Amino acid sequence: MTASHSHSAADASAFSLKLVLVLTASYMLIEVVAGVITGSLALIADAGHMLTDVAGVSMSLLAIWFGRRPATPLRTYGYYRLEILAALANGLLLLGVSGYILFEAYRRFSDPPEILGAPMLAVASVGLLINLTSAYLLFEGQKSSLNMKGAFLEVVSDLVGSSAVIVAGAVILLTGFELVDPIASVFIGLFILPRTWHLMGSALHVLLEGTPKRLNVNEVRQHILTTDGVEGVHDLHIWTLTSGLDAVSAHVVIGADANAERVLDELCACLDAHFDIEHSTFQLEGRDRSQLEPLGH
């Protein structure tokens, strides 16, 4: 029995993503101009990070749009996986930006340019407000969607970046110590890396059909085995189609006197109630049939 497909967890947050895209793109343009005028690497680095945000949020929105399209004979699960691919692409973008920031910061340690602290501080303060707003808009959605989590992590990285630029601008304005600019840039670059690694690892886990981290296979197996009429289970697989939509399939051995329709209804209800798995597919078979199949799973 297979439950109907539900909407992706990211789908409900599409409007918030659109607002974040408008805010981010607008501020990115301001930051690029200000970075060139002030000579601040930290501002330019943060603008580069904003560019990845614009690209990442755009990919997230595109994935949500494609995810709404119905399944076809060629794509029986529809386009749900595009959300996970978008999260992975966001991670790759963040890695590239982090590498560029660290390289440019290293170069500037040996040849620091003159930096205008006051404009740098003013622009970064505006960025802090925009990033706080964006983080608030995405906070709820990132709890249940890898796609939204990728966008949220980018905004959080920008939030930290804006804070670092504010500190650097204040130090330059008060002390004239311009090396704080590449130091702040290194901090931004290093802050991005571990969060990006975690995001990419989660996306790859889904793409490799890994068991959802919130679920325990042995616990699911035990629930199946305790259903009246069930004598055994094998070929049990649990995977994630997209964030918020897990699936399970299994071969279930039932007794000769068992009511197959009742067993099927109880299995689906059990997994839905205890594990929040709506998409379940069970092959019910008798003892003779189960002996013909490998029991290694």
Q: What is the pLDDT along the chain (297 residues), one digit of tens a residue?
A: 433 344 455 555 678 888 888 888 888 888 788 878 877 776 776 676 677 678 777 877 777 777 677 777 887 777 778 778 877 887 887 788 788 778 878 887 877 766 777 777 888 788 888 888 888 888 877 776 666 777 787 777 778 777 887 888 888 888 888 788 788 878 877 877 887 888 888 889 989 989 998 899 999 999 999 999 999 999 999 998 877 788 999 999 999 889 999 999 999 999 989 998 878 999 999 877 655 565 554
Largest alpha-carbon pair distance within the chain? Answer: 86
Rounded-to-integer distance, Cα 55 and Cα 44, Å: 17
Rounded-to-integer distance, Cα 100 and Cα 94, Å: 10
Pairing of strands 245-254, 279-285: parallel
Q: Which residue has the tokens 């409900």?
A: 12
Q: Give helix then strand counts, H and E, for the chain.
A: 9, 3
CATH 3.30.70.1350 segments of the chain: 217-290
> Angle at Cα 57 formed by Cα 168 and Cα 150, nearest 5°?
75
CATH 1.20.1510.10 segments of the chain: 11-207
Which fold is adopted by the domain 217-290?
A: Alpha-Beta Plaits (3.30.70)
Whether the CB-CB separation of 46 and 27 falls below 8 Å is answered with: no
Whether the CB-CB separation of 53 and 154 falls below 8 Å is answered with: yes
CATH architecture of 11-207: Up-down Bundle (1.20)
Between the alpha carbon of residue 31 and those of residues 19, 38, 112, 185, the distances in Å are 18, 10, 20, 15
Residues 157-182: pLDDT tens digits? 778 777 887 888 888 888 888 788 78
